[in-house]
Chain A
Amino acid sequence: MDTDDLYSASNLDSQLEERFSDTHHMTTSNAKTTHDSEEASDSDESSSDISDEPEDDLLILQRMWINERNAPELLEYEGAAIENLMELVDFQRQKIATQTAVVANILQMDVDRAKFLVRSYLRTRLDKIERHARHYLSEPKYRERLAQSELDYAKGFVELDNGHVRRSFLDQLPPHLRGLEEVSAEGLDMVTRPDVDEAVFCRVRATVGEFQFEASIIRDLLEDGKVELI
């Protein structure tokens, strides 16, 4: 059976790589996702400065995905990388149709894994948006980080939430107790915000030099792409 061969014959991989050298870079970089980011720490990219040559979209997205999952606040939307990657996926998908079963399976796997990455990345962002939707909507800095679809989602979410609370009990309270974005006398804010001073682990991608340690420094470095979270 085809499938048994697929799993038993490990030398098949090398044959396939020769035959499909153009898909090679995608397969290998994909494999790294499963082995987790730790493995990358002793690979070549970490010790040297960021190279000038344009990076693989999959690698960019992988890094953004890990950053996004570890950062307490919402980061910049990596729209270009996702779009390029999905174009690649589309291209690959058309190619699958012309291949034999065994090869098609492997390519399909590759496509599925790329899709997983995109899905997980978007889902992580949605989760963060739901948590602090009001905060992200009210601050222009975060608003710019949202993709259009995410902006719509956040607006819809807040609307839904407010509507639910209002119908459930708020309309029965005295009119001036109906606010949802006020700060109480004790300084408790009704709008939740992410804890941006949370501790994170990071790996330095480009030499930064010595610096005075301040709470927000990692945040700035992350935005500049000088460090990545792990």
Chain B
Amino acid sequence: MLGDEAFRLAKEAKNITPDHIPPYNEEQVRLVTQETRYLWTRIEEMIASLNSAESQEDTHMDIITDQPDTQQTQNSTMHLQAGISSSNPTLGNSASHARSNEFVENTNAQSTLYLVTLNRNKRCLLAYHQRRLEFVRSLLWSLHLAPSLVPPQLGQKLSPEEQSYVREYAKLNSAYRDAVESQLCPNDSLDWTANGELPPRDMFIEVRVIRDCGEIVTENGVVNLQAGSQHYLHRSDIEHLITIGYLEHISPC
């Protein structure tokens, strides 16, 4: 049915939650764009047939004169609607006029419906892609804006375009960070990788290792971070590891 494909896409967009994303549905996107293109050619046909009906009837209404290709969609909707409202009273009551009147009305109604569907399809497509991008962005922020950290099973679910978006987005952010740092603190870093949610409270924190990180060098020497072990370390030394989920902060209370 008309608009069903777009509805399915919209439903899929709704299924995206902060920790789940369905694979990119290329097939569905293709179906919707296909339907949209088909509807557009139908509308073009209809307008052409209306125009020819007009010239045959030689009535004095000028409903649609422009060629469809040069029009904006909104314009043609308005033209069509204007056509509907103006076509009623002016026509005479001869049989052929009544028939053509009916034809014009039908065609107008149908093409209006198609136009509305066209716009709806586009909206659904945009919403679907937008939702996915929102997911990708929040994922990237939680990964510290490093595209290489995107887990492979998630990476498979993204379309090639989305994967290149990931890289470009990370690039955009690092460019911003460089610009800010060079302006504000040329000889220092702003510690972008540190936790952004809460202000730092303690110099040293207790952490549990979730995934092996190997050995890291701190101010007080080398620490071996083995999975399962617990350490009491300088916050700034290991904060980035907490952000990407290798360590877990054990809060004292």
Q: Interface residues, chain A, CB within 8 Å of chain B?
A: 3, 6, 33-34, 82-83, 86, 89-90, 93, 105, 108-109, 112-113, 115-120, 122-123, 126, 130, 148-150, 152-153, 156-157, 160-161, 164-165, 167-170, 172-177, 182, 184-185, 190
A-B residue pairs in contact (CB < 8 Å), sample of 23: A83-B184, A89-B185, A89-B188, A90-B188, A108-B236, A109-B203, A112-B191, A112-B236, A116-B194, A116-B199, A117-B199, A119-B196, A149-B176, A152-B176, A156-B172, A168-B129, A173-B122, A177-B73, A177-B118, A177-B119, A182-B74, A184-B119, A185-B78
Stretch in contact with the other chain, from B52-60, B94-102, B162-170: B162-170
Contact, CB under 8 Å: B191 / A185: no
Residues of chain B within 8 A of A167, CB atoms compared: 161
With the chains together, A86 CA to B188 CA distance in Å?
10
Contact among B137, B179, B201 for A130, CB-based, below 8 A? B137
Judge whether B33 is part of the interface by a CB distance below 8 angstroms. Answer: yes
Residue of B nearest to A171 (CB): B33
With the chains together, A152 CA to B74 CA distance in Å?
33
Contact among B37, B78, B191, B196 for A173, CB-based, below 8 A? B37
Given A3-B203, A174-B36, A175-B69, 11 additional A-B pairs, CB 8 A: A33-B199, A113-B199, A116-B199, A123-B196, A149-B180, A153-B172, A157-B172, A160-B169, A173-B37, A173-B122, A176-B72
Contact, CB under 8 Å: B188 / A118: no
Judge whether B149 is part of the interface by a CB distance below 8 angstroms. Answer: no
With the chains together, A11 CA to B87 CA distance in Å?
91
Contact, CB under 8 Å: A164 / B194: no
Contact, CB under 8 Å: B180 / A122: yes
Judge whether B125 is part of the interface by a CB distance below 8 angstroms. Answer: yes
Residues of chain B within 8 A of A105, CB atoms compared: 203
Residues of chain A within 8 A of B176, CB atoms compared: 126, 149-150, 152-153
Contact, CB under 8 Å: A90 / B40: no
Contact, CB under 8 Å: B201 / A34: yes
Contacting residues of chain B (148-195) with chain A, CB-CB under 8 angstroms: 159, 161-162, 165, 168-169, 172-173, 175-176, 179-180, 183-185, 187-188, 190-192, 194
Residues of chain A within 8 A of B221, CB atoms compared: none
Residues of chain B within 8 A of A3, CB atoms compared: 203-204
Q: Dominant SS at the B interface?
A: helix
With the chains together, A173 CA to B123 CA distance in Å?
12
Min Cβ gap B155→A in Å is 16
Judge whether B227 is part of the interface by a CB distance below 8 angstroms. Answer: no
Judge whether B85 is part of the interface by a CB distance below 8 angstroms. Answer: no
4 tightest A-B CB contacts, nearest first: A149-B179, A174-B40, A86-B184, A172-B33
Residues of chain B within 8 A of A118, CB atoms compared: 184, 190
With the chains together, A89 CA to B187 CA distance in Å?
11
With the chains together, A93 CA to B72 CA distance in Å?
60
Contact, CB under 8 Å: B162 / A164: yes
Residues of chain B within 8 A of A184, CB atoms compared: 74, 119
Contact, CB under 8 Å: A152 / B175: yes
Residues of chain B within 8 A of A90, CB atoms compared: 185, 187-188
Contact, CB under 8 Å: A165 / B129: yes
Contact, CB under 8 Å: B183 / A149: yes
Residues of chain B within 8 A of A83, CB atoms compared: 183-184
With the chains together, A118 CA to B184 CA distance in Å?
10
Residues of chain A within 8 A of B89, CB atoms compared: none
Say whether, besides A156-B172, A169-B29, A116 and B200 are in contact (CB < 8 Å): yes
Contacting residues of chain B (63-116) with chain A, CB-CB under 8 angstroms: 69, 71-74, 77-78
Residue of B nearest to A111 (CB): B188
Contact, CB under 8 Å: A115 / B191: yes
Contact, CB under 8 Å: A86 / B185: yes
With the chains together, A3 CA to B235 CA distance in Å?
13
Interface string of B110-147 (1 = CB under 8 A from A): 00000000110010011001000100010000000000
Residues of chain A within 8 A of B40, CB atoms compared: 174, 177
Contact, CB under 8 Å: B192 / A119: yes
Contact, CB under 8 Å: B33 / A173: yes
Contact, CB under 8 Å: B187 / A115: no
Residues of chain B within 8 A of A126, CB atoms compared: 176
Min Cβ gap A86→B in Å is 4
Residue of A nearest to B72 (CB): A176
Min Cβ gap B53→A in Å is 23
